[in-house]
Amino acid sequence: MDTTEATDPFLLAGRSFRSRLIVGSGKYRSFEETRRATEAAGAEIVTVAVRRVNITDPGRENLLDQLPPDRFTILPNTAGCHTAEEAIRTCRLAREAGGWTLIKLEVIGDERTLFPDVPATIDAARVLVREGFQVLPYVTDDPVACKRLEELGCPAVMPLAAPIGSGLGIRNPWNLRIIIEQSRVPVVVDAGVGTASHAAEALELGCDAVLMNTAIAGAKDPILMAEAMRLAVEAGRKAYLAGRIPTRLYATASSPIEGMIR
């Protein structure tokens, strides 16, 4: 086990994880490829769209046959929901189907960008927290919205880096820095990551973890990309803990000038 993972666990909703990479389960060519990519990523948490992937009917091919809940933490999500009411019903279904109460909340407000409907997300989170759910909300990179969700009792906030599936990377690192500085709960970058350097950047900024799906599943070689993302997340976290040098406009000598022979 990596010594940093052992001494610096990712704490989320009262649980401890070694990996800071959360992966999605959609867009793969098969459930078997989903499993192989998840393993290559070293991920322990896998998010699953309750409305799109079979996790309840034992008579059909079931994702949980490849990703058993005794080995992975299954994180049901409300992908495809466009109102607070839809999202609340979907979370209740997940609880009835598998006893899941740790959920990723998505309420989409715009079909073109897939940006979240922030007021509806807050409304849904308020109800779900009261019902005992541990809500991980997908939200814009808005410090005020993230603070409101934390105050409601969400055990983490999940601001986007860029539109879902865009691969653009972190578009507004300054807002993310504000969110990180003000938050007393984990900050997980969700959506917009396209390649390993984006994942490393998120962790270098001080985000606690990163969640991705398309960046891995849509790669030419998903298994190799999953491994690259694992290494990038590990490198980014170590760089953050190490404390990078400040940026300067002008050069500074690599060797001290005191005592130089003249």
**Catalytic residue numbers?**
104
Specify whether the CB–CB gap between 74 and 97 falls below 8 A.
no
Q: Give the integer Cα–Cα distance in Å for 109 and 204.
A: 30
Burial class (CB in 10 A: 0-12, 13-18, 19+), 177: middle
Specify whether the CB–CB gap between 141 and 157 falls below 8 A.
no
Measure the CA angle with vertex 107, ends 199 and 40; round to 5°.
30
Nearest to 191 by CA among 177, 207, 180: 207
Residues β-bridged to residue 11: 16
Assign residue 112 a region (left: φ > 0; alpha: ψ between -120 and 50; beta: otherwise). Answer: alpha
Residue 66 CA: distances (Å) to CA of 25, 63, 257 = 11, 6, 60
Give the DSSP H/E element, type plus range, for residue 92: helix 84-98
Which DSSP state fits 65? G
